[in-house]
Amino acid sequence: MNEIFQPDGFDYNGIERRKYIRFSYHYPVRHRRMGEDTYQESESDNISLGGVMFYSSRSYGVGENIDLELDFPLGSGHQIIAVSAMVCWIQKKEMPPYSYSMGVSFNSLSEDQLQQLQTMVQTFLEYKQKQFSLVTEDTLEKNKEEARILFIKGLEYFRNDLLDEAIDAFSRVIQLIPSHAAAYSYRAYSHERKGESRKAEEDYIKAKELGGF
């Protein structure tokens, strides 16, 4: 069993974890130690108004404050929320290219940051209330790991301007999980970069229907 590191007095299974409603949130997250110049790329698993869980190839100290950038689609662009957060727990987890999963709690948020998070959370909650599953829970679980790996590959292709490869990766994610809003969003961005405006618009519309931004 993987070992979980957490600060004294922090109940990983208790009230601290239940204070805010959490929901699945699979979008890019960038993180760094305070004072560093460069962010490291990673992917979130879930988020709330109180914090976020994400995967990382590097470890931090429990109780350490770090810088985060939360990146999610907004229309035909991106919305980035920059916050500081405290590491609450770290778990060794071999999920190449990541070696850890960790949960962090947001430090004091400005009114603007809180409003941005509330807007994002509200949009996802409204979607959750009306969504229906296109595949069974069992099938979704079996497909989740393969889709996660493909989505990471798609992001790498997109960042390196390998647009055909990115579109193929995101299309395969959608085949596995038809409700994967982020895959539609990033496939739309890829089509847009290629000048395929009609295909991009179709994916933007689908992403919005699925609760994407």
Same topology, domains 4-129 and 131-209? Answer is no
Second CATH level (architecture) for the domain 4-129? Beta Barrel (2.40)
The enclosing H or E element of 153 equals: helix 137-159
Task: Provide the pLDDT confidence category of residue 137 given band limits of 50, 70 and 90.
Answer: low
DSSP letter string, 11-35? -TTSHHHHSS--EE---EEEEEETT
pTM summary value: 0.54
Task: Provide the pLDDT confidence category of residue 144 given band limits of 50, 70 and 90.
Answer: confident
Region 150-159: what's the mean pLDDT? 90
Could you give the percent of the chain with pLDDT greater than 90?
38
- Amino acid (one-letter) located at 81: I
Q: Where are the beta strands (DSSP E) in 37-106?
A: 40-47, 51-56, 65-74, 77-95, 98-106
Q: What is the CATH class of 131-209?
A: mainly alpha
Residue ranges of domains in the chain: 4-129, 131-209
Could you give the percent of the chain with pLDDT greater than 70?
76
Region 186-206: what's the mean pLDDT? 91
pLDDT the model gives residue 110? 85
What mean pLDDT, rounded, does the chain reach?
80
pLDDT the model gives residue 194? 94
pLDDT digits (tens, 9 = 90+) for 155-173: 999 989 999 999 999 999 9
Name residues whose C-beta falls within 8 Å of residue 14's C-beta, 6 or more positions apart in sequence.
none
> Both ends of the chain: CA-CA distance in Å?
37
pLDDT digits (tens, 9 = 90+) for 36-93: 999 998 888 888 888 999 999 999 999 999 999 988 766 556 778 899 999 999 999 8
pLDDT the model gives residue 130? 55
pLDDT the model gives residue 95? 81
Cα Rg of the chain, angstroms: 17
